[in-house]
Amino acid sequence: MLNVLKVRIYPNKEQEIALAKNFGSVRFVWNYYLNKTNTQYVETGKGMTYCQMAKHLTLLKKNSDYEWLKEATAATLQQSLKNLETAFKNFFSKRAKFPKFKSKHKKQSIRYPESCSIRNNGLKLPKLGVVKAKISKNINGKIKSVTVSKTSTDKYFAAILFETDDLITIDKLKISGIDLGLNSLVTVFDGEITYKVDPIKPTRKYAKRLRRRQQTLSRRVKGSNNRRKAIKKVARIHEKISNTRQDFLHKLSRKLCDENQIVVSENLNIKGLARTKLAKSIHDAGFGMLLNFLSYKLEREGGKLIEVDRFYPSTKLCSCCGFKNDVLTLSIRDWVCPSCLTNHDRDGNAARNLRQEGIRILSTNTVGHTEFQACGETVRLIGTCTKKQVSENQESVVTALA
């Protein structure tokens, strides 16, 4: 199993210069061969493969006009070509948009695919030596690659990809349903109690400070040193907003992961929601980021995130008798079931229905969840691990309590 640890690094002046040259070389190679591939595709109808680009790069380095490419680490340049080939494959497979040209005014990153190690509380990188780093935990497995990035606020980070033990077995599992919203970011029902977590709204929290910095930036002359300083001040506030949101969502996802092993959530159309009048609040809440954090943290510990279809009427169904209230509008936060006269909190009722639907999905042996057995308030896992999945559609005896 592969794991990633992101750490902050503190290169000295010489290492900063070397990294700047490497950033520029990798960016040039990407842009050069992206343009060359586009030109060749227009002329011949075929693009360039990685082997063709790598062979041409070797000849390009021998050209007197491009000898400065030899100062960069060869492996990072080759990795840039591999990334470009992957980007084209993703585009033609309709998994991503068409590759774009890279700019030196945005976030910079390079990937070292080999020859990286931990030395004396530092990170040893090719042609850089040992770079001072703040490593929060021990890395015992083999390091596969290291991606070094520089933010717009001149901070350096390294994402270390390494191997870990992938055998994680769990005997008993607990299942909870979560409902995502704007008034309450998360409403959780674990089978016994229901509780809510309010959003922190970092964008609105720093809106006044951001507005002042942007007003100052708009008054600066383009190309001046004062404008560059103002740009960094605006970037620091955006970074503060992003870090605040990520810190909150990491802590919330860790809490949910520690308390539950199976979490059931609704598969929201976040892109569609982001085009409505609530777009600012949707982006500020970070629904997609929360579900992403929950997914990989649960998988690392042998759990699972189950996403219920977005058209499932979790809000309109009565969790007690199953009556569907079609007249329920978004402004109604509490309602009484006309059939069984049960008083429902809108979000709490949705969390209960999502949990019941998650148990139903497990009980019907949906592909990808065949190794789970639901049993009332807890769920048992039969000899599973985070990496191994059951490929065949098998029948199992499941008892789900309504």
pLDDT for 33-48, tens place per residue? 999 999 999 999 898 9
Q: How far apart are the first and last CA of the chain?
A: 36
CB of 240 within 8 A of CB of 209? no
pLDDT at 11 (0 to 100): 94
Q: Could you list the active site residues?
A: 179, 266, 347
pLDDT at 118 over 60: yes
pLDDT at 230 over 90: yes
Mean pLDDT of the chain: 86
pLDDT at 397 over 50: no
Tell me which CATH code domain 172-200+242-381 carries. Answer: 3.30.420
In whole angstroms, what is the distance from residue 223 CA to residue 231 CA? 11
pLDDT at 30 over 90: yes
Give the residue extent of every domain in the chain: 2-163, 172-200+242-381
Burial class (CB in 10 A: 0-12, 13-18, 19+), 340: exposed
Confidence category of residue 167, pLDDT binned at 50, 70, 90: low
Confidence category of residue 13, pLDDT binned at 50, 70, 90: very high
In whole angstroms, what is the distance from residue 293 CA to residue 251 CA? 10
Place of tokens 């999945």: 389
pLDDT at 174 (0 to 100): 85
Strands 156-163 and 2-10: antiparallel
pLDDT at 67 over 60: yes
pLDDT at 66 (0 to 100): 93
In whole angstroms, what is the distance from residue 385 CA to residue 141 CA? 18
pLDDT at 216 over 60: yes
Strands 194-197 and 186-189: antiparallel
Over residues 117-146, the mean pLDDT reads 89
**How far, in Å, are 202, 229, 259, 316 from residue 185 at the CA level?**
13, 36, 18, 19
pLDDT at 168 over 90: no
CB of 186 within 8 A of CB of 200? no
CB of 14 within 8 A of CB of 21? no
CB of 260 within 8 A of CB of 190? yes
Confidence category of residue 319, pLDDT binned at 50, 70, 90: confident
More confident residue, 186 or 325: 186
Tokens of residue 33, six digits: 């061969």
pLDDT at 172 over 80: no
More confident residue, 375 or 165: 165
pLDDT at 399 over 60: no
pLDDT at 321 (0 to 100): 86
**How far, in Å, are 14, 130, 304 from residue 124 at the CA level?**
15, 4, 36
pLDDT at 51 (0 to 100): 95
pLDDT at 365 (0 to 100): 58
pLDDT at 370 over 70: no
In whole angstroms, what is the distance from residue 380 CA to residue 366 CA? 16
Give the CA angle between residues 300, 382, 305 to the nearest 5°. Answer: 40
In whole angstroms, what is the distance from residue 221 CA to residue 313 CA? 54
CB of 318 within 8 A of CB of 341? no
The contacts of residue 69 (CB under 8 Å, 6+ apart) are 25, 28, 29, 57, 60, 61, 77
pLDDT at 170 (0 to 100): 61
pLDDT at 256 over 70: yes
pLDDT at 340 over 90: no
3-state secondary structure of 312: coil
CB of 41 within 8 A of CB of 52? no
